[in-house]
A = this chain, B = another copy of it.
Amino acid sequence: MDAKLDLAIREVVIANRILANENIVDASGHVSARHPLHPDRFLISWSRSPEHVTREDIMECALDGTPLHGDARPPYKERFIHGAIYETRPEVNAVVHAHPEEVLPFSVTDEPLRALISSASMLGRRVPVWDIADAFGNDTSLLVENIEQGRDLARSLGHGNLILMAAHGLAAACPTMIEVVRISVYAARNARVQMAAMQFGKKIRFLSEGEVNVRGAGGYFAADSHGIYRAWEHWALRAGCADLLPKRDDATMRTL
């Protein structure tokens, strides 16, 4: 198998396991990667719960959500979230759809989720909320069931990397798998801290525009830096799937 494809599949599996182990996904939720050789396809498990996904479960889909190569295993109902985002955002290579409890209160009120802890700076100054009812009415299943609904969500996401879906969950989209897992994990943590801080009824120090920008400018915070890789490796070790990590020789690691 092509080495880039092999790595992309491993990363999809590792991300599934990490997000399950860190309580970001449960029976539901999914992770995908853009196909590294065919940018008009994405890699995603067939409809399995993320905790149990293995390499063999990964299928290929076209951006309109059609499973390729005659794969007859049932796909995730909401695979259109992934396809529509990849279609719109050429720089995005990894997408997560999840339903962490902690962010849901911010999806059903007009109280915005905002970065207030340093590790969640990727959330930025205000996470937008997409309500399927706005464009599709009050009689939907709340699920993103077709590519039109996926495209409407992608439009609301715009150039951002995170959007809440009202009464439902979140969609995250980043250039790399490490980043998309990172923002998913820290979105839940930021939500917990924000809810606790709000109960004091006092002025809250949210991250400044400058703090968000400095941390978003790469360098130490880039997805390929050692500091960021450290968290990825840590989560994989905890999830029991570190054997899927590519070997890194010490020399490489040390220069990151």
> A-side interface residues toward B, CB under 8 Å?
26-28, 47-49, 51-52, 72-74, 77, 99, 101-102, 104-105, 107-111, 116-119, 121, 131, 133, 137-143, 166-169, 189, 192-193, 195-200, 202-211, 213-215, 220-221, 226-227, 230-231, 233-235, 237-238, 253-254, 256
Contacts and interface: CB of A to CB of B under 8 A. Distances in A.
Contact of A143 (B118, B189, B205): B118
Contacts of A111: 200, 202
Given A74-B253, A233-B49, A204 B108 contact: yes
Given A137-B210, A141-B214, 19 more contacts: A26-B234, A28-B119, A28-B230, A49-B233, A74-B253, A99-B119, A104-B117, A105-B196, A108-B204, A109-B200, A111-B200, A111-B202, A118-B142, A118-B143, A118-B168, A133-B208, A140-B210, A140-B211, A140-B214
Contact of A231 (B49, B230, B238): B49
- Which of A104, A195, A197, A202 neighbours the largest number of chain B CB atoms within 10 Å of its CB? A104
Q: Report the 3 A-B pairs with minimum CB-CB distance, sorted nearest first.
A: A139-B210, A49-B234, A27-B231
A57 to B, nearest CB: 12
| Copies in the assembly, this chain | 4
Given A118-B167, A119-B99, A211-B140, A51 B234 contact: yes
Contacts of A140: 210-211, 214
B254 A73 contact: yes
B254 A141 contact: no
B193 A105 contact: yes
